[in-house]
Every structure is written in structure tokens, then in C-alpha cells.
Chains A and B, each alone.
Chain A
Amino acid sequence: MQKRIAICAVAQIKNDPNLWYARFQNMLLECFEGIMSQANVSFDMEKGIRTVITCSDDVWDARTISDNGMTDVVGAHFRGEEKMAQESLNGLGYAMASILSGHDDVVLYMGHMKESQPESRNMCTNLAFDPFYCRPLGMDFVNVNAMQARVYMEKSGVTEEHLAKIVVRSRQKAKENPFARENEPINEDDVMKSPLLADPLRQLHYYPTTDWAFGMLLCNEERVKEFTDKPVWITGYASCMDSYFLGDKDLTSNFSLKNATERALKKAGIKNVTKDIQLFELCDHAAYQLPMWAEGIGLAKEGKGGKWIDDGGMDEFNVNMSGGMLNGNPLLLGGAARAIECFYQLRGEAGKRQVKGAKRALAQSTYGAAGQHQAVVIFEV
């Protein structure tokens, strides 16, 4: 087992469909001030924050070096700044490395994404495909996820009714979360009648485009008392990359998630995922992914995702009490939103959605089409 790091403070803005009146600098500044008001931390070169990790993306911001425009609002003027150019949960893993290496005692981690800015999210994710074979076919994360949805639903007995149940539950949970995106109230019939995005994915099966920003203050075990009385510990992080071409892999194998989970649990010294962990936050970009990732992590038996939903698995294992990605977080920041829910829950500050007595939580995130890259982080109090 390796050493752990602490999350000392968290700040965020409300997830919003279109923050047309705020630039990303404004969004970040609010989070930055939130962190500064919670923790007595400085930017002193000896004792304070020397390194800021940020998370954003050049394509989504239509800006080369997207971290360039935020240096001053995250306190990185004449300090270190490094951009996690990957799904935001990996930024916690990198912060862990920066701190456990001894290089930094304290790290500020901030991220932003405005999905309302690009004309189309599919145009952005189409650029993730190689320019020779896949891009000209019009592949993007939605239509490739639809292919995965089709084979997964077939394999695991997941039906339209199951998907509708997942979406309605997500909206209900999100109502209890003051930072969640505010969506129209819906019922299962609305979900099953919503327009098709890419068969079998319907509009309401997919997370809505969202603007959001967050900040987190992290530090080593030795200095945690300087910044908080209620730390939440990060005890394990791992990620895994699957192969690229769809024909090179079994789309339902959960190869990368199984590997990432196994490695993260090992690092955190956890043997039994369902017994030792009381709360799970999964990045369900689309409704079918919730049972699929639950299979990958080991909450549901392989190929039994449909039955797992019927048996009340989502509530039994406290999955996505925040409402999940499905209710609306920006694509790159789903993992950070999952981590923040784990933070509130483990501190006992989750209000009406509080899971009683939760001591450990797991957050999962993914990037790429059909879950190509997966990351898992384990939290503990």
C-alpha cells in the first residue's frame, strides 16, 4: 500500500446549460475565491502552493494552450502550472504523484469546460479519430457509443425500459444536489419517446451539454492540519488505455475499466469492492454505461446488467447519488464532478442525498469513444 494525500477543500459553480454571460476566467475565479475562503493557504515559494494543476482542452476552448488564458485567475503567475489534458479524474492521480514525490506539499487543482461554446460537441469529438479511416466516416463519441450500447444491451439484457429507469432516477437524485444542472422533470415514457441521436441512443439517454468549473486543494499527510479538520483521503489511483480501432476489441469487454479498477484497489489495499466501498460515482455519459461500468467495477455480474437494475443494484450500492454524469457535467470534467460528490458524501455534507456511514468511495471516469481510456480513484475518511 502506498501513502495517501488529502483533499482539503472543494469549490464549484453550479452546472449550467449555457453560461453565456461568463468567460471561463470568471467561472474559475469564483472557484478560486471559494478555495481561498475555506483554507488558510498562501502562494509562498517555501510553504505555499508552488504548483497548480489545471484541466481544460484546446479543441473545446478553440484555443491553443488552453491553460494559457487562466494562469492569473488560478494563482499561477510566477508559479508552476501543468495542464491535465485528459479526463479530469486523472488530474487527481497526477496531483497525487506531485505530492507523494515530495516535489510539492500543497497542490491546487482547477478545471473548466464550456460545452455551450462549440457549435457541436460531435464536431469536437470527431477530431479524436484518425484523419484517414475513422474521421471521414463521421465517427464521434455519440455514434460510436451507440455501437457499444447496441452490443452491450444485447449481451447484458438491458432494455429501453431499463435505460428509462436510469435516466429518471438520475434526474430525481440530481434534484437533491444544489450544484447539479437544472433539467426539465421527466418520466419514463418521455425517455422512451425522446428522439433518436444514434440508434439505440435517444436524446434523453445522453448527458446534456453543460458548462462548469471546479477547484480542489490537495496536500500531503504531514501538513493536512494546517488546511482542514476534515480531510478526505485519496488512497488509490489507476488508469488504463484500451486499443483504438473498434474492430480490434470486444466493445463489451470492459478491458480498460477492469484493469484500472484492479490496479486502483490494489494500491488502496482494498480486497472486496462491494463490501469495503459504500459509494460509487460512475461517469455515465449515456444511460447504458451505468450498468456497463457497474459490471466493469464488479458491482454487477458480467452480462447481468439488466437484472442488476431490476434487483435494485443502483440503490443497493449507492451509485451516482449526485445524479451522475447523465444529469449534466461537461465531457472532460465528469470525473472531477464524481470526485467532488465522493468528497461531500464522505464528509457527511451531502444534504438530503447523504449516504449514512460511508467510509470509502470510488469514482470512475472515462474518455474516448466506447470507454477507451478509464480511470478510477479511491477515497477514504
Chain B
Amino acid sequence: MAHKKNRNVAIIGIGQTKHSSHREDVNQPEMIHEAVSAALKDANISIKDVDCIVHGNMELFEMIHQPDLWHVLGTGAYGKDSIRITTGGTVGTTLACASDNLVASGMYDIVMAIGFEKLQEGHTTGGITNMADPLWFRNLQTGALTGSTAYDVIQEFGEDRAKRAAMMYRIIMDKHACLNPNAHRAFGLDFDQVETLMNTSPKLVGELRLIHMCSQSDGACAVIFASEKKAKELSKKPVWIRDHITIHREETFNIFGYHKDYPVLKTHKFAAEQLFKRNDIKNPLEYFDVFEMYDPAAWWGLDWLRDFFFLKGDEHLRLVENKEIMIGGSMPINPSGGVIASNPIGATALLRVAEAALQVRGDAGAHQIPKEVKHALASGFGGTMWTVLMMLEKELSW
């Protein structure tokens, strides 16, 4: 069984910038141009071959209204069809889904998705806080900083085990980041620091500590999508888009009033259930070879493994404790270092798709996982616990 599709679509070009806290050497269009040039070079095509540009980020981070207008200087959209679609933190995966739709529809043969953010030019937490309803919740909002997941995991598995597992997750992500030359933060942490970091890293909210949290980065990512015919003509290693799903939920009423006896339906789990059901995947942990997850904090990354892979009991903790999520493990998570390492928000979720596609191609360099990657999964997270999932395949064989 497969989700119906008018025609097949593949990723044929991938480009990204170095991610850093201060790309002061470039302005926004210049930074985007780096990613666009890299993607075109990777696809071995010119901008003339691209039919449509899809652009996205969040306006209030840099306070540029409809920035695709100015960014035309770096995107290559001049004279082309160009669309701007945004969905908050999920925007990068939304750009990928939109590009897949635009090509699959037959309206365009080659589409380039561009996600970017230059967070040093704004105030990230201020920007995110501004998301909340001005009358009801804005005064209570703490941006993306929340300690509730840490609280839940600690309640369920005990303080020591939970804190160790979360820090283990964090250190594994840093080890991956150290292998990725584009990663923003790569500290060189080691497992003997688990206990020290658990106790000394400054607290942000509850047991969410500074070291657990993602960075705020400057960076851009561009990914080129092509129809089956074009992809086969142009690319030696096309990465096929099998399916994607977007699940949002209402903004407020579920967030508070949380009680363990009345578990709130979670979008990650719901999205994974729906997507895997319609693609006849019964055991996602077995099916996928690698997962690039939008993990904004170590506690979330740890907890969400359970939702995406339908794990029971403490299986997700054991995956981390046994280092199965490391490059070389049974289910490598974020060989790129993930979101905790690099987080230019509008690009972040597109980077998940890009990095997953690089793994499928075997082109990830030092952070390439050692086994063959036939099936890869990428996720986006944003809004008020929104989910986007995209499935990538090496062969057109589903």
C-alpha cells in the first residue's frame, strides 16, 4: 500500500551554510546565496533549470516583512514563479512537503526550497513568546523553554535515571556534531561529564538546563526537488520522497491542565501512526535506517523517540543508555548533531530532510553512518507541538 501520488519526486541537490552564532560576514541574501549556490553545484544544474522557488522563515525573528522580496537578490527567484509558505518551527519540513507537492502536481519540474534564519539579528525567545495569544497566554509564555517534559520523565523513571539518560542523549548529539563541519556548536563533550553537567549546567526552567537546549544560529539550507523524469536524467543518486504528513493542533487548551491519568494526544505519535499505517510500516524502528529528528532539547529528543517509534515502557531510555542512537548503533538519531547543535530556525527542519537525504546518498562525510541507508525519516517540530514527517527512500520500490 502506498499513499497515492500523481508522479514521483526526488531530491537532486542539497546545499547548506556553515551554521554559527554570528554570520556577521554576510547579510541575509548573501547567506542564502551560499546555500543556493551549494545546492545548484551539488545538483550540477544552473539556476536557469529551476522553475519555482519556495521560501520560508519567521518574519518576527529578523523583523523583515515578506523577506522573499528582498532575498530575491540571493535566492535566484528573479523572473521565476515563487511561493512563500511558513508554519513556524516546522517551516523547513513544510517547504520540503510543499516542494514535493508542487513537483508531484505536474505544475513544475524542478523546485528549490530555501529555509533560512539569522537569529543574531533579532531576539529569538522574544520572537517565540510573541506567538502566544496576547490576551490569555503571552504573559505566561517562556518561548520554547519548558521544563514539563523533564518533570514527566523524572516522575516516570526516577530522578537519577532520567537525568542521566537526558545528559547521555545530549553528549551523543555533541559527539555527532563534532563530526559535522557545518554544525554550530561542537564542544567535544565526553560521557565522563554526565554527572558534572547534570549538576552544574545552569537551570533554565525546572530540570531543563542550558546544556540541554538547542542553540540559536545563523544559517541557510536549500534543497532541490525534481520530477522522476528530470531526476533520472540529472542525478546519479536521486533520493525519493515516499510520503509526508503534517499534523497541527490548537494552541492553548491542551498545554496546561496536564495529568498523567489523562494523557494528552500527542501530534508526534498521531502523525507517525497515520503515516506508517498508510504506508504499511508496522515496525518503524526496524524499517528505518536513520532518523533526523527535530530535537529542540535533550529532554524532548529522549521523550519523543517513544512517540515516533511506538516504544513501550523504558525502551526509549534503553536505546539511549545502550548508545543505540549513536552513529554505528541500531537506530542512529541525528548523525548531523541535530537541532541542539545547530538551529537557524527557518532552515532547521529543512536541514533534517537535507541531512537524511545525504545519509541515503552516502554523502554525509565524517558523520555518515556505517550501514547502507535505504529508508530515512525526517521530522519537523514547531508551533504548539506541531509535527511534520517526511519519508525518504533510496529506491523507487515501495
Contacts and interface: CB of A to CB of B under 8 A. Distances in A.
B is bound to A: yes
Interface of A: 2-3, 45, 51, 57-59, 62-65, 67-69, 71-72, 76-86, 90, 93-94, 96-103, 124-125, 127-132, 237-245, 255-256, 259-260, 263, 267, 367-369, 372-373
B106 A3 contact: yes
Contacts of A58: 58-60, 86
Given A81-B87, A85-B84, A244-B69, A64 B5 contact: no
B60 A64 contact: yes
B374 interface: no
B92 interface: no
Contacts of B384: 68, 71
Given A77-B249, A101-B100, A67 B87 contact: yes
B6 A100 contact: yes
Contact of A239 (B66, B82, B246): B82
A76 B59 contact: no
A240 B81 contact: yes
30 contacts: A2-B107, A57-B59, A62-B130, A64-B59, A68-B384, A71-B383, A72-B250, A77-B250, A82-B87, A82-B246, A83-B87, A85-B56, A86-B66, A94-B102, A97-B104, A97-B105, A103-B5, A103-B100, A128-B64, A131-B64, A239-B81, A240-B79, A240-B80, A241-B53, A241-B69, A241-B77, A241-B81, A243-B73, A260-B81, A367-B69
A28 to B, nearest CB: 13
Contacts of A131: 63-64
A71 B6 contact: no
Contacts of B195: none
A57 B107 CA distance: 26
A2 B107 CA distance: 7
Contacts of B78: 241-243
B217 interface: no
Contacts of A267: 107
B61 to A, nearest CB: 8
Q: Is the interface of A mostly helix, strand, loop or mixed?
A: mixed
B147 interface: no
Given A65-B58, A68-B88, A241-B72, A51 B105 contact: no
5 tightest A-B CB contacts, nearest first: A72-B250, A101-B104, A80-B246, A100-B105, A65-B88
A94 B246 CA distance: 15
Contact of B98 (A45, A94, A241): A94
B272 to A, nearest CB: 13
A81 B69 contact: no
Interface in B245-262: 245-251
B63 A372 contact: no
Contact of A100 (B64, B83, B106, B248): B106
A59 B247 contact: no
A127 B88 contact: no
Contact of A51 (B61, B67, B246, B267): B246
B348 interface: no
Nearest to A67: B87
Contacts, number: 211
A63 B251 CA distance: 13
A341 B103 CA distance: 29
A128 B66 contact: yes
B156 interface: no
Nearest to A84: B85
A229 B97 CA distance: 32
Contact of B83 (A68, A90, A129): A90
Nearest to A100: B105
B79 A241 contact: yes
B249 A80 contact: no
Contact of A97 (B5, B70, B98): B98
Contacts of B133: 69
Contacts of A77: 248-250
A83 B265 contact: no
A102 B4 contact: yes
A322 to B, nearest CB: 25
A372 B69 contact: yes
Given A81-B246, A102-B5, A244 B270 contact: no
A82 B249 CA distance: 12
Contacts of B265: 78
Contacts of B58: 58, 64-65
Nearest to A59: B65
Interface string B133-174: 110000000000000000000000000000000000000000
B106 A85 contact: no
Interface in B113-141: 127-128, 130-131, 133-134
A79 B384 CA distance: 13
Nearest to A58: B59
Given A80-B247, A94-B85, A103-B104, 18 more contacts: A63-B60, A63-B130, A67-B86, A67-B383, A68-B251, A69-B133, A71-B383, A79-B248, A83-B85, A84-B84, A94-B101, A94-B102, A97-B101, A100-B106, A101-B100, A101-B104, A244-B72, A373-B69
